[in-house]
Amino acid sequence: MDTVHIQSRSVSVVSFAAIRARAAGATLRRLVAFTLISIGTLATKAGKSPQVMRPLMIEQVFRVGVKLLPIVCFLGITLGIVIVGQTVTVLQTVGAVKFTGMLLVTVVIRELAPLVAGLVVLARVGTASVIELATARALGEVEALEALGIDPIHYLVVPRVIGFTVAVATLTAHFVLLALVSGYAFAFARGLPLTLTGYFGDIATALSWADFPLLALKTSLFGAVTGLVICYQGLSQALRLEEVGAATTRTVAQCVVGCLCIDALFVPVYLLL
Q: Which of 69, 34, 270 shows the shortest CA–CA distance to 178?
A: 69
Q: Which of 149, 193, 213, 268 binds other proteins (CB under 8 A)?
A: 149
Nearest-angstrom CA–CA distance, 231 and 156: 8
Positions in 208-247 near other proteins (CB under 8 A): 238
Task: Return the number of the residue (139 or 253) whose C-beta is nearest other proteins.
Answer: 139
Burial class (CB in 10 A: 0-12, 13-18, 19+), 178: buried
Does the footprint of other proteins cover residue 50 (CB under 8 A)? yes
Q: Which of 16, 54, 90, 140 binds other proteins (CB under 8 A)?
A: 140
Does the footprint of other proteins cover residue 37 (CB under 8 A)? yes
Nearest-angstrom CA–CA distance, 107 and 110: 6
Does the footprint of other proteins cover residue 143 (CB under 8 A)? yes
Please give the span between the terminal C-alpha atoms of the chain, in angstroms, as a whole number. 58
Nearest-angstrom CA–CA distance, 251 and 228: 10
Contacts of 259 (CB under 8 A, 6+ apart): 114, 115, 118, 222, 225, 226
Q: Which of 6, 19, 23, 52 binds other proteins (CB under 8 A)?
A: 52
Does the footprint of other proteins cover residue 271 (CB under 8 A)? no
Does the footprint of other proteins cover residue 153 (CB under 8 A)? yes
Q: Which of 7, 8, 49, 205 binds other proteins (CB under 8 A)?
A: 49
Does the footprint of other proteins cover residue 148 (CB under 8 A)? yes
Q: Which stretch binds other proteins (CB under 8 A): 27-35, 47-55, 81-89, 180-188?
A: 47-55
Nearest-angstrom CA–CA distance, 157 and 202: 42
Which chain residues interact with other proteins by CB under 8 A? 37, 41, 49-52, 139-141, 143-144, 146-151, 153, 155, 238
